Structure 1
Amino acid sequence: MNHPPNRRSFFRLGGAAVAGAGAGALLGGPAQAAHADDAARVLKKPLKLRVGTQRRATSVAALQEFKRHGVNYWVGYPPAPPLAEGRGYWLPEEVEQTREFAEENGITMDMVALPLLTSSLVDDDPRPAIMLAKSPERDRDIEDIQKMIEACATAGVGAFKYNMSILGIPRTGTTPGRGGSVYDTFRAADLDPNEPPTKAGIVTADDFWERIDYFVQRVMPVAHQYKVKAACHPQDPGTPPGGYRGVKENVLSVPGGKGLFKLLSLYDSPYHGLNLCAGTLAEMLWDPEREIYGIFRRLLQTKRVFNVHLRNIIGRRDHFMEVWPDEGIIDHARMIRIMAEEGYPYSVDPDHIPDHPDDPGNKQGFAHGYGYLRALIQAVEGGR
């Protein structure tokens, strides 16, 4: 019989027993983490945070699925631009029609996902020039993004999300989970050191920052001008020592979250911010149970977090699996309370729900995620 691995057995099964002073914190539950950071804080009521979703929806049935599970806010996906025809940007009416489609079904489209700068592997990206530092193509793509920012402003959509990804989202296998579900797993020791670099070649930390800064300095002034928030997702996961496939360091997922603060420092604008994924934040830390809450709070205090993905893991940097939100090492109730205390006013979305063969499309899994988040928010708001 297969039993879902707990925190301790996960590391034993992976052949990476954790020793030393950090072992107890890593393998224990959230209750072991120090709560001094949360002491004597006052909730800002009424709570402004709300349950959202970034799931694709192209039908009335899909939007109704969100609505009946208590989800009223959506990261939308306007029609993909016809790249083959030479247009790499949305027209304002395309964004507006998608917003109206959502509103007709009782859903607010408060953010959109760019069709460029996705989380895909750069080798699979039809428009990779920004991450390859390849001019003049990257200037063309940046201009297309500038046009989409203007289209969002015209259509009344106040934010967009994007990634600065070369490696995509690498995982090394799966682990059996509860109820026959499957947990995506990453173990740096299982990566193939002989796998060749991506088409980006060798990318040092300085190279990566040059590409990010080149983008930021050309896009954020336009976002600021049109008052459209730009939300960048951290890189998932952090790179192991020595790098992977030519990328020496995923600079937006370094230990301590330092890369995220540096990103915010590149351009001073309330419209330049983060799509902060708590799961990815946990994955970049060596001791996430103790580190994540303080870092999460400090990022919220910048007032430049525009969307939160709340998912859970068992493990730590270089060795983790993605689990159900109520069974991982991160105390989601505490994360919700921190958002409430800091007056976070945007959506919090479930993300990376485990798979199950009897749940095609993860509909059951996301229903669990929506309900879990709604219950936590109501419990915090009610003082329970």
Structure 2
Amino acid sequence: MASEPLDRRGFIKMTGVAATVAGAGVVIPGGVSPAQADGHRPRRKLKMVVGTQRRASTTAAFQEFTRHGVTHWVGYPPSPPLDKGRGYWLPSEVEQTRELAERNGVTLDMVALPFLTSSHIDRDSRPAIMLAKSPERDRDIDDIHKMIEACAIAGVPAFKYNMSLLGVLRTSEVPGRGGSTYSRFRAADLSKNPPLTKAGVVDADSFWERIDYFVQRVIPVAHHFKVRAACHPQDPGTPPGGYQGITNVLSVPGGKGLFKFLGLHRSPYHGLNLCVGTLAEMLYDPPREIYDIVRRLARTKRLFNIHLRNIRGHRDDFLEVWPDEGDVDHARIIRILAEEGYAYNVDPDHVPDHPDDPGGKQAYAHGYGYLRALMQAVESALDR
């Protein structure tokens, strides 16, 4: 059934209502459950699930997910045919993507917008929103409104996006465990006089103006259709003075940019695709700082997807490593998320490369299994 049409030119801010439903358990005479009668408490099940944002279009690809414990997927509806004058998905295209996942035993929990990706602005095919270029950005925002409505009609509850100008910055690669290769970022190795991007100079105030322009026009529509909007932090934070004339504002020390972002519009549908690796990259002392920040963010109830990857190092100098050998204790992250009631996907992300593993299938299998084991271990610990 189609959603109620939306007057995009003038609508009233609404408040979201959350509801929780408690399930009833089977009891035996005396008012105790079978598990209690045997001297065991029922295991406390976590609300979060193992997910993936890997692209998939075949049964074989989905079987790769499900045999490694993945139950939920961040999907990719067909790219809109811009050459034919349409820059947005049709509801039928989102429905086809959901049905593809369901036929293969996976839930489509979120979709990725076809633009506002983590690309560098000079390579972006639809840069108007991030360039603050009107009227093109208003056209693109209107296309996002239509895609939000398409998600609501198709029964897909969330989408993810980026507010990126510099893309994902890395400076080199170094040898890692078992012959794998780790990506490195070291601010001292960046070019000292890089050319400006097509965006020119974008200081912190200008960047916030662009983000706020987007949020104030998109989140009310997401709220109206009850579709969650999840923004990924900028990866990594820029060094003092910025880079290529740009100062990233969502990846500042202490995670302050993320809390400011959430404060731009008060809606339960305005939130984050929190990358734990990117959060660690913002911090000068990740093992000391990160756990409190994750808990505070989780308590907002506006974390809609988690990317779980690890680093060794700190702000301005780090390596992306295997999830079990970095400076951040992922078991502690999962426990914090469980304690705060986080209820969505946790996805592996940015796995190390190896020549014997083209496409990263082995590395992602490691990530899925690692996540599933962490969740089961935390479940067991919470039962004690």
Could you say which residue in structure 1 is the equivalent of 2:21? none
Q: Which runs of 4+ in 1 moved over 6 A?
A: none
Q: CA deviation at 1:84?
A: 1.8
Q: Provide the rounded CA distance (Å) in 1 between the counterparts of 2:329 and 2:139.
A: 43
Could you say which residue in structure 1 is the equivalent of 2:13? none
Could you say which residue in structure 1 is the equivalent of 2:39? none
TM score, norm. by length of structure 2: 0.88
Flag structure 2 segments of 5+ consecutive residues without an equivalent: 1-42
1:105-254 correspondence runs (5 A): 105-247=104-246, 249-254=247-252
Q: Provide the rounded CA distance (Å) in 2 between the counterparts of 1:139 and 1:75.
A: 26
Task: Compare CA radii of gyration and give the structure with the larger one.
Answer: 2
Q: Provide the rounded CA distance (Å) in 2 between the counterparts of 1:367 and 1:176.
A: 21
Q: Provide the rounded CA distance (Å) in 1 between the counterparts of 2:375 and 2:299.
A: 19
Secondary structure of the residue that 2:250 maps to in structure 1?
helix
Q: Deviations over 1:174-201 (max 9, x none)?
A: 0100100000000000000211011000
Q: Deviations over 1:176-233 (max 9, x none)?
A: 0010000000000000021101100000100000000000000000000000000000
Could you say which residue in structure 2 is the equivalent of 1:312? 310
Q: Provide the rounded CA distance (Å) in 2 between the counterparts of 1:148 and 1:214.
A: 18
Bigger RCO (CA 8 Å, 6+ sep): 1
Q: Which amino acid aligns with 1:330?
A: V
Secondary structure of the residue that 2:381 maps to in structure 1?
coil
2:317 equivalent to 1:334: no
Secondary structure of the residue that 1:383 maps to in structure 2?
helix
Flag structure 1 segments of 5+ consecutive residues without an equivalent: 1-43
Q: Provide the rounded CA distance (Å) in 1 between the counterparts of 2:123 and 2:82.
A: 15
Q: Deviations over 1:237-284 (max 9, x none)?
A: 00001110110x210000000000000000010000000000000000
Computed over aligned residues only, the root mean square deviation of the Cα atoms, in angstroms, reads 0.9
- The one of 267, 274, 277 equivalent to 1:276 is 274
2:345 equivalent to 1:347: yes
Identity %: 76
Q: Provide the rounded CA distance (Å) in 1 between the counterparts of 2:79 and 2:202.
A: 29
Q: CA deviation at 1:46?
A: 2.3
Could you say which residue in structure 1 is the equivalent of 2:35? none
Q: Deviations over 1:273-332 (max 9, x none)?
A: 000000000000001110000001000000000000000000000000100000000000
Q: Provide the rounded CA distance (Å) in 2 between the counterparts of 1:88 and 1:255.
A: 36
Q: Which amino acid aligns with 2:345?
A: S
Q: CA deviation at 1:58?
A: 1.6
Q: Provide the rounded CA distance (Å) in 2 between the counterparts of 1:83 and 1:182.
A: 37
Secondary structure of the residue that 1:325 maps to in structure 2?
coil
Q: CA deviation at 1:60?
A: 1.4
Q: Which amino acid aligns with 2:157?
A: G
Secondary structure of the residue that 1:252 maps to in structure 2?
coil
Could you say which residue in structure 2 is the equivalent of 1:357? 355
